[in-house]
Amino acid sequence: MKIREERIGGAVVCFLEGEININNSPELRKAFDGIIAKNEKKLAVNFSGVTYIDSSGLATLIEMFQRLKKIGGALRFCGMEQKIKNVFEITKLHKLFEIFDTQENALKDF
Amino acid sequence: MHIFEKLPSRLEIVHQFVPAVIEKLEKSGLSKEELFDVKLCLDEALVNAIKHGNKFSQEYHVEVEVEITGDRLIIQVRDRGQGYDYSKIPNPTEKSNLEKNHGRGVFLIKTLMDKVEHSDCGRTIKMVKFIKNGGKK
């Protein structure tokens, strides 16, 4: 999995590429740790390069959601392919997370 | 098609073994979306067997059997652990469980596969996916 961060407006956008699975979830957690350590509170995750996610990937995102919520921050997702979006919908996590079709919409009023 | 493997209880094996299985299934008649589902379910079943079943013990292997019989793909994953009561797994989609960071693997398997059976006190999971075009491609 490739992870790239970019500041856009008042938020940090995290671009993910490849598979999110149990073997590389710690890498994602480490990237999120780094963002929180910089006192960033608004994080948008762009999933347009994500081809796969398993339940450990979902768990890592839930942890990040909780950590940001605790410090008054927010987490938004965008750019998911339908097969990835299905995993969120099946597990009803689309009700927990704010999921937008495009990055532009995710950053609007963020 | 028939695959039988005894895998060591190491997580890194999962992401070597599963893509190789999926590649072999590409001409099975399953659609790309169905193969995505099968990959996810096989991943989740193997991770459960290694992590919760065998508890990463190097003394125990995980047995995996993948076969196509007629219009169905049958996958069986067996561990050597203590077993578990699969009927007591909480529903992760309930509001009170939504923020829990575990418990979605079996739920995904039950949702995405056409038939799921547990046996041997929860040490074996059998997952079936029907191949809608009869396996012709």
Q: Examine the pLDDT at B136 and tell me if it is beyond 80.
A: no
Q: What is the 3-state secondary structure (H, E, C) of B105-135?
A: HHHHHHHHCCEEEEEHHHCEEEEEEECCCCC
Please name the residues in contact with A55: beta carbons below 8 A apart, sequence gap of 6 or more.
A91, B44, B102, B104, B105, B108
CA angle B31, B62, B40 (to 5 degrees): 25
Give the mutation candidate from B106, B108, B109 for the A interface (greatest A CB count, under 10 A). B108
Its ipTM equals 0.92
As a whole number, mean pLDDT of residues A100-108 equals 97
Question: Within 10 A of B85 (CB to CB), how many other CB atoms are there?
Answer: 9
Which of helix, strand or coil describes residue B25? helix
Looking at residue B132, its pLDDT comes to 84
Say if the Cβ atoms of B93 and A92 lie within 8 Å.
Answer: yes
CB contact, 8 Å: A83 with chain B? yes
What pLDDT is recorded for position A74? 96
Contact at 8 Å (CB) between B60 and B50?
A: no
Residue A8 is given by DSSP the state: E
Q: Does A90 touch chain B (CB under 8 A)?
A: yes
At the topology level, CATH places domain B2-130 in: Heat Shock Protein 90 (3.30.565)
Q: What is the rounded CA–CA span in Å between residue A79 and residue A75?
A: 14
Mean pLDDT of A24-28: 95
Please tell me which residue of chain A has the smallest CA distance to B35.
A83
Tell me which residue in B11, B39, B107 faces A91 most closely, judged by beta carbons: B107
**Quick one: closest CA in A to B33, which residue?**
A83
Query: Residues near A109 by Cβ (< 8 Å), separated by ≥ 6?
Result: none
User: Is B43 an 8 Å CB contact of chain A?
Assistant: yes
**Nearest chain B CA: its distance from A62 CA (Å):** 6
Give the per-residue pLDDT at B133: 67
> Smallest Cβ distance to B44: which of A54, A65, A90?
A54
The per-residue pLDDT for B85 is: 86
Query: Is A56 an interface residue toward B (CB < 8 Å)?
Result: yes
Do residues A95 and B96 make contact, with C-beta atoms less than 8 angstroms apart? no
For residues B75 and B66, is the Cβ–Cβ distance under 8 A? yes
CA-wise closest residue to B124 among B38, B53, B68, B60: B53
Nearest of B117, B128, B33, B118 to residue B83 by alpha carbon: B118
Spans of all domains in chain B: 2-130
Q: Please give the share of chain A, as a percent, with pLDDT higher than 90.
A: 100
Mean pLDDT of B96-119: 95
Report the distance separating Cα B5 and Cα B57, nearest Å. Answer: 17
CA A94/CA A85 separation, integer angstroms: 8
pLDDT, tens digit, 9 for 90 and up, residues B21-63: 999 999 899 999 999 999 999 999 999 999 999 999 999 999 9
The residues spanned by each domain of chain A are 2-107
Q: Could B111 and A90 be called an inter-chain contact, meaning their C-beta atoms sit closer than 8 Å?
A: yes
Q: CATH number of the domain at A2-107, please?
A: 3.30.750.24
Give the CA-trace dihedral at B65, B66, B68, B71, to 10 degrees.
Answer: 100
Q: Is B39 on the interface with A (CB under 8 A)?
A: yes
Q: Among all chains, which residue has been given the structure tokens 């999995």?
A: A1
Out of A52, A62, A90, name the one closest to residue B108 (CB): A90
